[in-house]
Amino acid sequence: MTTTNDTQTEADRQLMTRTFEEWRDGAEPFPHTWADDMVWRIEGHSVASKEYASKQEYIEEFVKPFGARFRPSDRFRPTRIRAVHADGDTVIVLWDGRGIALDGKPYENTYAFFMQMRDGKVIDMTALTDSISLNDLMQRVQPASQPNF
């Protein structure tokens, strides 16, 4: 862990709180807070579980195919932000999300994002979620040609 002062820790916590609230309220998801060289890991045993070596790889291999499984009017986003914690250069967000898939069925899941920050950007992310629910969505719903994220 790098040395981070209390002011920067609080600024990172507030940034992620704002980012998730804006996403919940209808803004686009938050790639603007991701460093280009960020590493993203989806833990568990889902079809998406692996380490993505960059922002671009994560967007192309997961975000776009995931987002393309939702109705444009009911795209996936947070519904409840349960907690945002920060310690040093790490921000942890526990949140619930929901969207309506192209087959008309809701997809609901709970996530914990562990984000290491540098200069107001996420440089390392570990995501925990229910692999069974994610697998069900990814296997049940064929993606639209254009992602709806």
Q: Is the pLDDT of residue 45 over 90?
A: yes
* pLDDT exceeds cutoff 80 at 73: yes
Q: What mean pLDDT comes out for the span 45-65? A: 96
Other C-beta atoms closer than 10 Å to the C-beta of 95 total: 20
Task: With CA atoms as reference, report the closest residue to 148 among 76, 31, 67.
Answer: 67
Q: Identify the pLDDT of residue 31.
A: 78
Other beta carbons within 10 Å of 114: 16
* Cβ neighbours around 100 below 10 Å, total: 15
CA 137 to chain centre: 16
User: What structural domains and CATH numbers belong to the chain?
Assistant: 6-140 (3.10.450.50)
Whether residue 148 has pLDDT greater than 60:
no
**What per-residue confidence (pLDDT) applies to 5?**
87
Residue 77 phi, psi (nearest 5): -165, 165
Per the rule left: phi > 0, alpha: psi between -120 and 50, beta: everything else, 7 is alpha
What is the pairing mode between strands 90-100 and 77-87?
Answer: antiparallel
Render 62-123 in DSSP notation, one character per residue.
Answer: IIHHHHTTB-GGG--EEEEEEEEEEETTEEEEEEEEEEEBTTS-EEEEEEEEEEEEETTEEE
Q: Alpha-carbon distance 146 to 13, whole Å?
A: 32
Predicted local confidence at residue 29, as pLDDT: 75
Averaged pLDDT, 32-40: 95
